[in-house]
Amino acid sequence: MVKSFVGRFRPWPVVAGFLASLVARAATWPAGELFGVVVPAAPPSAPAVRVRRPAPAVYEMRFMKLHAEGRFEEMWEMLAEDAQRAWGGIQHFVREMPRLDEWLEILEMQVAGETLLDTWTDHVHGRTYTNVARLVMHYRVRQQWREWSFDRQVHLVPAAGEWRTLCYPMRTGVAATR
């Protein structure tokens, strides 16, 4: 009904634009009030369906498992679009992604902390992201006879119903952030 009413004013774009913006604003007003006049509330709409994706840690652990196995082609699909653009293509990623030492074995990976952030700015790459998962991952590794552990912070962003990692190429003199 509203579309047909606004459509009648199509020959006058200024009037049609004004009415369209008025209708858009009215949609955001509290139910029951329009220009000070009480109107019945709209019937409740169906609840929004929220797609539930696996936990970000599942993606990070798979990414690192593939990295340890040298399966870089499969890792490519797990990169965020910005990271893929920064790498310049899958061939460059496969060729330049740092390899783990052949004697290095990941013994254990676990999430030491997980925070979901509304926004996060990667100051190294000058980008701001929304709905970011910040993970602190704890790794225990062994290289021949020596074992040690370390924590590492990584960031993942949602894309296509999944999480994608922000693994950028290393710049000379700058540590790669994820």
Integer Cα distance of 81 and 83 in angstroms: 5
Task: Identify the pLDDT of residue 62.
Answer: 94
Q: Return mean pLDDT, the chain.
A: 77
Instruction: Mean pLDDT check: name the lowest of 82-86, 94-98, 159-163, 168-172.
Output: 168-172
From 15, 118, 110, 119, select the one nearest 64 (Cα to Cα).
110
Cite the DSSP H helix spans in the chain.
Answer: 2-7, 13-26, 56-68, 72-76, 81-87, 90-96
| Position 173 confidence tier, pLDDT thresholds 50, 70, 90 | very low
- Which of 3-17, 20-34, 96-110 holds the top average pLDDT? 96-110
pLDDT band at 35 (very low <50, low <70, confident <90, very high): very low
pLDDT of 66 higher than 90 = yes
- The reported pTM is 0.64
pLDDT digits (tens, 9 = 90+) for 126-145: 899 999 999 999 999 998 89
Q: Are strands 146-159 and 104-122 parallel, antiparallel or unpaired?
A: unpaired
Q: Indicate whether 54 pLDDT > 80.
A: no
Question: Please, what are the domains in the chain?
Answer: 1-45 (no CATH), 56-165 (3.10.450.100)
Question: Residue 75's CB: how many other CB atoms inside 10 A?
Answer: 22
CA distance 165 to 81: 9
The answer to whether the CB of 70 falls within 8 A of the CB of 99 is yes
